[in-house]
Amino acid sequence: MGASMPAAVAGHYDRLDRFYRQLWGEHVHHGLWTDPAATPEAAVRHLVHRVAADAGIGAGTAVCDIGCGYGAPARLWAAEYEASVTGYTVSAAQHDYARRQPVRGPAPTYHLQDFLDNDRPAESADAAVAIESLTHIADPPAAVREAAHLLRPGGRFVACVWMAAPNPPAWARRLLLAPICADGRLSGLPTVRMLHRWATQAGLRVDRLDDVTPFVRPTWTVVLRRFVRALGSDPALWRLLLDAAESERVFARTLPRIWAAQRLGVLRYGWLVATKA
């Protein structure tokens, strides 16, 4: 999508704003089920807390949240860690929602702006995080380089990234991964080797790069169940999908693709922790 990528991502999330908040809640990312008995809400918060631990977020930490969405992680880090968070989103609907929410602790700052166009000074952040946002950026390696540029020496970069398996079969690329990228407005799906290379070429030391797919996989069962229930009980959701352009309606049809791709092992979930030397 190149230069049109921010506009495509923004339009997608703006038009399906109600759809996302109804099915995902305000966090709009996977849960982390290290406890199989955890509720979806607890699993989602657990992921955000684990990101905070790996990023070294604490009182006064200057955090750059790349692709902050509705600002739920930023509010959690402000309220429970007293961190100073600056978030970036290209979605006007997400930006407006985030700014209207009350928060305990230091109020996060939200920018309606492509992260690659930010004007933040070099070495002004203690931590940079990207929760499922790197592949929504037209040039993900450039985003990693920019994150490294903004980090102070010793600062941490944590990214939760949708990835492709190292060598998925051609049929999986054609029937699953390519449609997931197109329908989800993704610039692509890196492999774990590519993600490692992006970090090291940005001058970061990779401390850990884990495949945590089994621990996030329950997310899609939860989302599909919510979707089916909503279709049966909420006529407004039907109207939203029917009124949306075909390019947006098709995303509802790709939900089973994502569920299947994770179950088949061709769609992975990477957890990168890196440090600026």
Name the nearest CA neighbour of 147 among 169, 166, 172, 129. Answer: 129
User: Which of 21-30, 124-133, 243-252 has the largest mean confidence?
Assistant: 124-133
Over residues 37-71, the pLDDT tens digits come to 999 999 999 999 999 999 999 999 999 999 999 99
User: Alpha helix locations (H) across 59-172?
Assistant: 72-81, 92-100, 140-150, 170-172
Over residues 130-177, the pLDDT tens digits come to 999 999 999 999 999 999 999 999 999 999 999 999 999 999 999 999
**Alpha carbons 16 and 122: distance in angstroms, whole number:** 35
First to last CA, the chain: 33
Q: Kindly report the number of other CB atoms within 10 A of residue 246's CB atom.
A: 6
Over residues 244-253, the pLDDT tens digits come to 565 566 667 7
Give pLDDT, residue 3: 47
CB distance 140 to 198 below 8 Å: yes
Mean pLDDT of the chain: 92
Give pLDDT, residue 79: 97
pLDDT over 90 (residue 231): no
Which helix (H) or strand (E) is 158 found in, with range?
Answer: strand 151-164
